[in-house]
Amino acid sequence: MKKIAGILLKTVLPLALGIYLIWYFFTSMEPNVEAAFYKALREANYFWIFLSLLLSFFALLSRAYRWKYLLEPMGYKTSFWNRYHAIMIGYIVNLTIPRAGEASRAGMLYRSDGVPFAKSFGTILAERVFDLIMLLSVALLASIVGAGDFWKIKELIEEYGNDPESASKVQLVKWIVIGIFAAAFAVVVLIKKIRQKVIGFIKGLFDGVLSIFKTKHPGSFIGHTLFIWILYVVYFAVCFFALEETSGVPPKGMLLAFLAGSLGITLTNGGLGIFPIVVGLVIEYYLKDQYGAQAQGIGWALGMIIWSSQTILIIILGVISFFLLPKNYSKDGEVRTDQA
């Protein structure tokens, strides 16, 4: 029963919410918003989207390279491509089971290079610490350069809340956030009930997390981290040039939209349904004076283009990696002899 409840909380509920959001918001578009939405999709310059995907791929390569700096201090020499394939498989798993990709990534590296799961998973947590610091840095920068606009966007949300046609949308998003916190609380309760089984696992995690302090190349690790997050922001920002209407959005608007999208990804599977909405809301604020009601359709269109292109890229690369990642070690840790 607990296992079924866990599957529902981690997989079915977020996926169902994402699908519902897509259906609800598409079917609730007013005619002028819908016309602007599809017009933007048709007239977009997809060269900028291709450039965005290329930059995203470089960020993925850099992430795979950075991982070795945490694994080497523990004595593990791993293949660059095996690390890359493990990362891509983890990303594609995250699209179906939120936050399960990290465990899958560690499991895949164990199958290919024999790195113990707990130690590998610990290095992934260490990466997440630095990625969180970078996200908070972007949030701080966005709050500084776009502080005034942030509060005006908040007023735009409140306007929706006062509109009978839009109030249910705002309430739905609020209930999604509440649901995420409830799911997190349920997971904490389950962990407490299996505390003894987790103790040994946590000891292995410490080796991985502490590896950041043992790396011989801290400057290279930090350099790759900065490079990755610069590419994240840049590949998001270049997409704004795909639409003539959004090419004039100021850098602070792009930063606020990036921040909104980053937070949206945590709410459903890979940001399904919610990412285009929250990104579109920020874009709408910057376009509404010039384009009126059509600004909403344009914002949603760009949000959908960014989300769908990145999701398709992850799916394609993840499937390729699934077939290319060698399985050199059995589940029991034995070296397989059928890989020759």
Residue 181 pLDDT class (50, 70, 90 cuts) = very low
Residue 108 lies in a domain: yes
209 versus 255: the higher-pLDDT residue is: 255
Residue 178 pLDDT class (50, 70, 90 cuts) = very low
**pLDDT, position 30:** 83
Number of structural domains the chain divides into:
1
Residue 331 lies in a domain: no
The dihedral formed by the CA atoms of 257, 260, 263 and 265, expressed in degrees to the nearest 10: -60
| Top mean-pLDDT range of 123-127, 158-162, 246-250 | 246-250
Q: What is the DSSP code string of 19-87?
A: HHHHHHHHHT--HHHHHHHHHHHHH--HHHHHHHHHHHHHHHHHHHHHHHHHHGGGT----HHHHHHHH
For 107-147, what is each residue's pLDDT tens digit? 999 988 888 888 888 888 888 888 888 888 888 888 787 66
Residue 338 lies in a domain: no
Report the percent of the chain where pLDDT is more than 70. Answer: 70
**pLDDT, position 184:** 46
Residue 43 lies in a domain: yes
Bridge partner residues of 335 (DSSP): 329
For 86-107, what is each residue's pLDDT tens digit? 999 999 988 877 667 788 999 9
pTM: 0.79
Residues 6 or more apart whose CB falls under 8 angstroms from that of 175 comprise: none
CA distance 337 to 229: 40
The domain containing residue 138 runs over which residues? 2-324
